[in-house]
């Protein structure tokens, strides 16, 4: 963490840049859906390694470290983007199954394995968090970063990390209900059939 003294007026604009970084970080991984048809599918698909990972935060970190005295607005934008992207990747780590579009896509190469996708997402989460908090320079920016994390979890357009388990329980209960309903229907059918045979015999 750096320890630079910055005029308070910078934080008014810095907070706005952090919020902008949060918005970009939350929606960057899904940019492929907005650019569908504009970019070749072999270059950018859903869960591309270019957007679902730590590449962009590392680029911003490199730019910030190369420029001494970087404006607080740029740093806070990078902090917001990195932390929001980490939150988005946390949600993406819980797909319904590690197959198809849940796997990381590498341009030209194609879809990777489930193991590689899991390792890449976990590694990217750690790197994004490191970059996000490594760029803060004082306690106030650290507090803004923590607030950004909380906002990101609240504004993430995806489902809760526990949602796959909730969906599984719901489907299990529903399937159990269908099974019980089917059994009850079979019993009712047999009872009706027995009554008809009894009435016919009498």
Averages of pLDDT over each 10 residues, the chain, 202 residues? 57 81 88 74 83 93 77 85 93 91 91 95 96 85 80 63 41 43 48 58 54
135 and 190 within one domain: no
Determine the pLDDT at residue 120: 96
Residue 145 makes CB contacts below 8 A (sequence gap 6+) with 18, 79, 83, 132, 133, 136
Is residue 2 a part of any domain in this protein? Answer: no
The Cα 47–Cα 159 span in angstroms is 16
Determine the pLDDT at residue 177: 38
166 and 134 within one domain: no
Domains: count for the chain: 2
47 and 120 within one domain: yes
The Cα 172–Cα 150 span in angstroms is 32
Determine the pLDDT at residue 185: 52
Determine the pLDDT at residue 113: 95
Is residue 4 a part of any domain in this protein? Answer: no
Determine the pLDDT at residue 59: 93
Determine the pLDDT at residue 155: 66
124 and 137 within one domain: yes
117 and 183 within one domain: no
Domain encompassing residue 192? 162-202
202 and 151 within one domain: no
User: Among 167, 148, 175, 165, which Cα is nearest to 77's?
Assistant: 148
Helix (H) or strand (E) holding 32: helix 31-34
154 and 63 within one domain: yes
């Amino acid at each position: 963490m750096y320890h630079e003294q910055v005029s308070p007026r910078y934080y008014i604009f810095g907070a706005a840049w952090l919020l902008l970084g949060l918005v970009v970080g939350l929606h960057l991984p899904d940019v492929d859906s907005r650019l569908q048809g504009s970019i070749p599918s072999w270059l950018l698909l859903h869960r591309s390694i270019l957007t679902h990972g730590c590449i962009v935060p590392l680029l911003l970190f490199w730019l910030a470290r190369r420029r001494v005295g970087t404006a607080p607005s740029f740093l806070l934008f990078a902090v917001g983007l990195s932390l929001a992207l980490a939150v988005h990747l946390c949600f993406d780590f819980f797909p319904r199954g590690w197959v198809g579009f849940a796997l990381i896509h590498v341009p030209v190469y194609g879809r990777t394995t489930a193991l590689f996708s899991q390792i890449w997402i976990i590694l990217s989460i750690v790197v994004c968090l490191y970059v996000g908090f490594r760029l803060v320079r004082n306690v106030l920016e650290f507090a803004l970063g923590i607030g950004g994390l909380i906002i990101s979890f609240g504004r993430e357009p995806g489902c809760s990390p526990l949602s796959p388990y909730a969906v599984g329980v719901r489907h299990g209960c529903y399937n159990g209900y269908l099974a019980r309903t089917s059994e009850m229907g079979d019993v009712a059918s047999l009872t009706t059939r027995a009554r008809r045979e009894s009435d016919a015999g009498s």
